[in-house]
């Protein structure tokens, strides 16, 4: 006999993993349709092989000439066996065989009856239907439990230390459950007694409660005499009326108590609902406040974006307008040169930095080439008689450069000089202004800055270095608030001293220029070597 223990009923081994085609099919990994399709494919392949064998003469088997018999379609019968052994009647005993042992093992692992039945067939065992598997498993359990109880009664007869206490605890736990069940059964019993008594009387006269009280009173000897045998009929009548009044009173008290409990439950429910409503209202208020804050943040963010877009569009519009004006000036100069050449037959000389409406732009064009050369020679002679500026030999003789020992001019004197330079359109070129960060800007870019800052336009006689110096003087003439407003164009918070703001503004202007975007800086050696003279002579950086 295969050994068995309590684990058979109170927990067994882990469930087996389905392996192979049959296991996958039984566990649900393969559908029955796919399984049947595979069988049909196998049959079809077999028929194809038969056809080939018939055509080659290797086999004498022939296919039927017609697929119908007497006009009725011929049904195809599969010769495939269902598998397993035919089910026979076998007794259920504790000395079970291998088939019953397989059923016990699979059911202990939690498999369904359908799976167990298919598994037995796949393994070539007894061919049971699922219902038979379930009923056989129940009978096997009962037989094995009875055998296990008999073995325990024979072997486990001696009790050990501490087991009596556990027995008492187990009895108390079960006794509570049994008492509840007993009360339910007693109520059911007296209901059945009342029904049976009504059938005997052919009408219902007494309730289950009355039957129970009368039965217990008769057994205890406390029951009243039958009404017909009692001589005190008036007393029985008063007793009956008193009993009715007491019953009505009890029912009224129960109804009042039920109403009180109902009102109490209703009050608690309303309080709970009010508390929930208050919490929900508080949550909605907080959510609304958060939404308002988020909406305000979105609005501010959108306004900042729109303002940024407006500023960018304004800068683009100004730059575009300035480019158009520059193109118009170039075209006008070209037309003037062509007209002058047609009228005089000579080449017209125009200052490239002069504006079309500047009278000095055509000052040299009224003279012929010889007169212009004469004038230039006279200027050179006058220049040779004058003494050069000993401060910086690289700077033109006509410009005086004062020396500065400090990057900032302290006191009211510097402010007055800066404001005077901005008002008069003149500026002093110094070593510091020559190395200003804006020195890498082109003349057109400097003109745009003058336009944006509402400063006087560049004149024909004003060099590149003088424009940079004029912008630097305009920076010093501004106060810290105005500098902060200019820095906001570059998304600078405008913190720091006035000198720090001026330097950052100049760096921002230089970094946003064409040369700055290409990586050029005023401190580069190649730039410093050629700018000092070129800037003073009116040339652009790198020109």
Residue 315: closest CA among 439, 471, 447, 489: 489
Which pLDDT value is given to residue 542?
55
Asked if residue 463 lies in contact with residue 535, where contact means CB atoms within 8 angstroms, the answer is: yes
Residue 296: count of CB within 10 angstroms of its CB:
10
Which pLDDT value is given to residue 301?
94
Q: How far is CA 102 from the centre of its chain?
A: 51
Which pLDDT value is given to residue 434?
81
Q: CA-CA distance, 185 to 193, in Å (whole number)?
A: 12
Residue 477: which residues within 8 A CB-CB, separation 6 or more? Answer: 415, 418, 419, 421, 422
DSSP state of 345: S
Largest CA distance in the chain: 171
DSSP state of 461: T
Residue 537 vs residues 19, 144, 328, 398: alpha-carbon distances, Å: 95, 118, 25, 11
Q: CA-CA distance, 345 to 20, in Å (whole number)?
A: 107
Which pLDDT value is given to residue 532?
56
Which pLDDT value is given to residue 526?
63
Residue 230 vs residues 221, 225, 226, 348: alpha-carbon distances, Å: 16, 6, 6, 157
Asked if residue 322 lies in contact with residue 448, where contact means CB atoms within 8 angstroms, the answer is: yes
Token pair of 273 as six digits: 């609902």
Please name the residue that has the structure tokens 């017209």: 348
DSSP state of 126: B
Residues of the chain with confidence (pLDDT) below 70? 1-84, 349-426, 525-526, 528-543
Token pair of 21 as six digits: 């085609």
Provide the residue count of the chain.
543
Q: What is the DSSP string of 149-199?
A: HHHHHHH-----TTHHHHHHHHHHHHHHHHHHHHHHHHHHHHHHHHHHHHH
pLDDT digit string, tens, across residues 69-89 = 344 444 444 445 566 677 777
Which pLDDT value is given to residue 449?
86
Residue 311 vs residues 19, 111, 506: alpha-carbon distances, Å: 73, 76, 19
Q: CA-CA distance, 30 to 18, in Å (whole number)?
A: 11
Q: CA-CA distance, 395 to 189, in Å (whole number)?
A: 128
Q: ∠ CA 452-458-462 to the nearest 5 degrees?
A: 140
Q: CA-CA distance, 239 to 233, in Å (whole number)?
A: 10
The residues pairing with 73 across neighbouring beta strands, listed in sequence order, are: 68
Asked if residue 493 lies in contact with residue 508, where contact means CB atoms within 8 angstroms, the answer is: no
Which pLDDT value is given to residue 426?
63
């Amino acid at each position: 006999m295969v050994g068995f223990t309590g684990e058979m009923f109170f927990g067994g081994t882990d469930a087996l993993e389905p392996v192979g085609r049959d296991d996958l099919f039984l566990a649900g990994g393969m559908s029955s349709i796919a399984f049947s399709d595979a069988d049909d494919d196998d049959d079809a392949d077999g028929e194809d092989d038969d056809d080939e064998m018939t055509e080659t003469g290797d086999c004498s088997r022939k296919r039927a000439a017609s697929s119908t018999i007497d006009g009725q379609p011929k049904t195809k019968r599969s010769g495939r066996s269902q598998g397993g052994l035919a089910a026979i009647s076998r007794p259920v005993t504790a000395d079970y065989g291998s088939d019953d042992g397989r059923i016990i093992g699979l059911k202990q692992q939690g498999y369904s009856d359908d799976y167990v039945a298919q598994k037995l067939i796949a393994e070539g065992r007894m061919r049971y239907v699922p219902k038979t598997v379930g009923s056989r498993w129940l009978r096997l359990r009962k037989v094995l439990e009875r055998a296990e109880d008999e073995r325990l009664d024979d072997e486990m007869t001696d009790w050990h230390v501490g087991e009596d206490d556990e027995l008492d605890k187990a009895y108390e736990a079960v006794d509570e459950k049994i008492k509840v069940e007993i009360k339910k059964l007693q109520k059911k019993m007296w209901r059945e007694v009342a029904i049976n008594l009504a059938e005997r009387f052919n009408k219902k006269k007494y309730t289950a409660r009355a039957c129970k009280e009368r039965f217990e009173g008769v057994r205890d000897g406390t029951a009243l005499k039958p009404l017909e045998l009692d001589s005190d009929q008036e007393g029985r009548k008063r007793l009956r009326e008193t009993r009715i009044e007491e019953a009505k009173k009890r029912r009224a008290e129960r109804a009042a108590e039920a109403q009180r409990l109902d009102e109490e439950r209703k009050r608690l429910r309303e309080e709970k609902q009010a508390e929930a409503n208050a919490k929900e209202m508080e949550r909605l208020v907080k959510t609304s406040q958060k939404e308002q804050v988020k909406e305000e943040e979105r609005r501010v963010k959108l306004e900042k974006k729109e303002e940024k877009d407006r500023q960018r569009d304004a800068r683009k519009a100004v730059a575009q307008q300035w480019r158009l004006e520059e193109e118009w000036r170039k075209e006008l100069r070209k037309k003037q040169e062509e007209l002058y050449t047609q009228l005089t037959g000579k080449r017209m000389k125009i200052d490239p930095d002069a504006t079309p409406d500047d009278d000095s732009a055509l000052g040299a064009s009224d003279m012929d080439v010889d007169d212009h050369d004469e004038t230039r020679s006279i200027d050179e002679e006058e220049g040779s008689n004058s003494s050069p500026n000993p401060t910086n030999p690289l700077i033109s003789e006509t410009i005086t450069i004062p020396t500065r020992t400090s990057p900032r001019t302290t006191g009211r004197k510097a402010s007055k000089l800066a404001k005077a330079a901005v008002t008069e359109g003149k500026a002093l070129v110094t070593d510091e202004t020559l190395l200003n960060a804006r020195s890498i800007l082109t003349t057109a870019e400097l003109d745009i800055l003058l336009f944006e800052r509402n400063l006087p336009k560049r004149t024909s006689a004003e060099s590149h270095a003088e424009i940079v110096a004029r912008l630097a003087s305009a920076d010093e003439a501004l106060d810290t608030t105005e500098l902060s407003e200019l820095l906001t164009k570059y998304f600078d918070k405008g913190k720091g001293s006035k000198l720090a703001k001026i330097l950052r503004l100049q760096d921002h202007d230089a970094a946003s220029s064409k040369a700055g975007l290409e990586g050029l800086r005023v401190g580069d050696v190649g730039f410093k070597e050629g700018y000092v003279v070129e800037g003073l002579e009116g040339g652009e950086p790198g020109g």
